């Protein structure tokens, strides 16, 4: 199947969307990109304004890649200065993806203090060992392990997957989700603050992980995750928006205190508006690949 995209009404860039660092499990064989979502394996490729796909129907593609988001309107709303404007031009067509909350949650707990290649490695290790095998296109793929699959693993087995100090967080969070004590559907319906407070109860989930899960899987497009790269962006470009003592702390090498995190994140939500998460993703990818 294929989908013709009007670049003015529905701009989309598959490459930027998959490479910006929001998803960790996509693979490329030949010129096809293979994705796994829940139990669906599918492949996608883009040629200019045509999106080609197999193994998924149009509704699924529209929903997963958020092609229902009015991107031109969103970009116009977050386009508040020359830096974000530059990032928007550079990565035109980048979209936030609708991930499944459970996989997103575990992925970003694993992501603490790791670079992206390491994150991909550990997620692949988890899936290959504890996920279910699914064949597609004469290749083998694996679903992401279920909460019960991870909950029953001894932490030593998780450590053997190179999870390090994250192993206990993963197992404990898996137990909580497996017991049905985390209702992702309810979080989707709740407002940003309420949903965030719920997520913060989970072991291994702090401000940054919570905001990633809210943005990438729970429809909270105002969520603005602040990691080491975003701290760098604010130190170099938005220092004047804060008081001097705070600006000085931004220059330090230490990780953000919870209060300083809120200071940046809530400023960004006011500054960029209700689609601040989109601004974050463009700035994040820009900071990682260009000089800021």
Partner DNA sequence: CTCCAGGAAAGTC
Partner DNA sequence: GACTTTCATGGA
Stretch binding DNA (CB under 7 A), from 3-11, 72-80, 189-197, 219-227: 219-227
What is the Cα–Cα distance from 245 to 255, expressed in whole angstroms? 16
- Tell me which DSSP letter residue 291 carries: -
Least separation in angstroms between residue 255's CB and DNA is 4
206 binds DNA (CB under 7 A): yes
Give 186 or 200: the residue with its C-beta nearer to DNA: 200
Q: What is the closest distance, in whole angstroms, from the C-beta atom of residue 240 to DNA in the complex?
A: 20
Measured CA distances, 142 to 59, 68, 176 (Å): 23, 28, 23
Nearer to DNA, 25 or 208 (CB): 208
- Of 178, 13, 4, 185, nearest to 95 by C-alpha is 13
Q: What angle do CA 194, 216, 210 make, to 5 degrees?
A: 45
268 binds DNA (CB under 7 A): no
Locate 143 and state its tokens. Answer: 């679903």
Structure tokens at 105: 């949650």
* Selected range binding DNA among 9-17, 33-41, 135-143, 280-288, rule: CB under 7 A: 280-288
* Sole binder of DNA in the list 49, 57, 80, 118 (CB under 7 A): 118
Establish if 179 lies at the interface with DNA (CB under 7 A): no
- If binding is defined by CB under 7 A, does position 159 make contact with DNA? yes
The single residue listed with the structure tokens 């993806």 is 97
What is the rounded CA–CA span in Å between residue 191 and residue 200?
Answer: 14
Stretch touching DNA by CB under 7 A, among 3-11, 26-34, 38-46, 161-169: 161-169
Query: Residues with Cβ < 8 Å from 280, sequence gap 6 or more?
Result: 215, 223, 224, 225, 230, 268, 272
Which residue's entry shows tokens 């008081």?
243
Segment interacting with DNA (CB under 7 A) among 61-69, 174-182, 185-193, 253-261: 253-261
Chain-centre distance of CA 8, in angstroms? 25
Tell me which residues touch DNA (CB under 7 A): 20-22, 108, 111-119, 121, 159, 162, 164-165, 169, 200, 202-210, 212, 225-230, 249, 253-255, 257, 259, 261, 280-281, 284, 288
């Amino acid at each position: 199947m294929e989908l013709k995209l009007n670049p003015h009404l529905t701009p989309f860039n598959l490459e930027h969307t998959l490479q910006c660092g929001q998803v960790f499990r996509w693979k490329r064989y030949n010129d096809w990109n293979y994705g796994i979502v829940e139990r669906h394996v599918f492949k996608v490729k883009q040629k200019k304004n045509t999106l080609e796909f197999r193994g998924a129907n149009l509704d699924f593609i529209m929903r997963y890649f958020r092609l229902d988001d009015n991107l031109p309107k969103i970009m116009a709303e977050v386009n508040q200065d020359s830096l974000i404007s530059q990032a928007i031009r550079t990565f035109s067509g980048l979209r936030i993806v609708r991930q499944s909350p459970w996989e997103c949650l575990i992925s970003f707990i694993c992501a603490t203090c790791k670079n992206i290649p390491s994150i991909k490695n550990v997620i692949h290790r988890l899936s290959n060992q504890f996920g279910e095998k699914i064949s597609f296109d004469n290749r083998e793929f694996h679903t992401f392990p279920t909460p019960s699959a991870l909950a029953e693993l001894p932490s030593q087995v998780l450590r053997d997957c190179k999870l390090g100090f994250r192993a206990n967080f993963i197992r404990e969070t898996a137990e909580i989700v497996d017991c049905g004590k985390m209702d992702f559907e309810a979080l989707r319906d709740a407002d940003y603050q309420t949903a965030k407070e719920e997520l913060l109860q989970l072991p291994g989930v702090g401000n940054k992980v919570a905001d990633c899960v809210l943005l990438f899987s729970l429809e909270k497009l105002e969520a603005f995750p602040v990691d080491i790269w975003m701290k760098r962006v604010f130190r170099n470009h938005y220092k004047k928006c804060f008081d001097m003592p705070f600006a000085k702390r931004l220059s330090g090498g230490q990780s953000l205190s919870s209060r300083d995190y809120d200071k940046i994140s809530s400023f960004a939500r006011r500054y960029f508006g209700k689609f601040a998460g989109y601004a974050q993703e463009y700035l994040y990818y820009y900071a990682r690949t260009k000089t800021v």
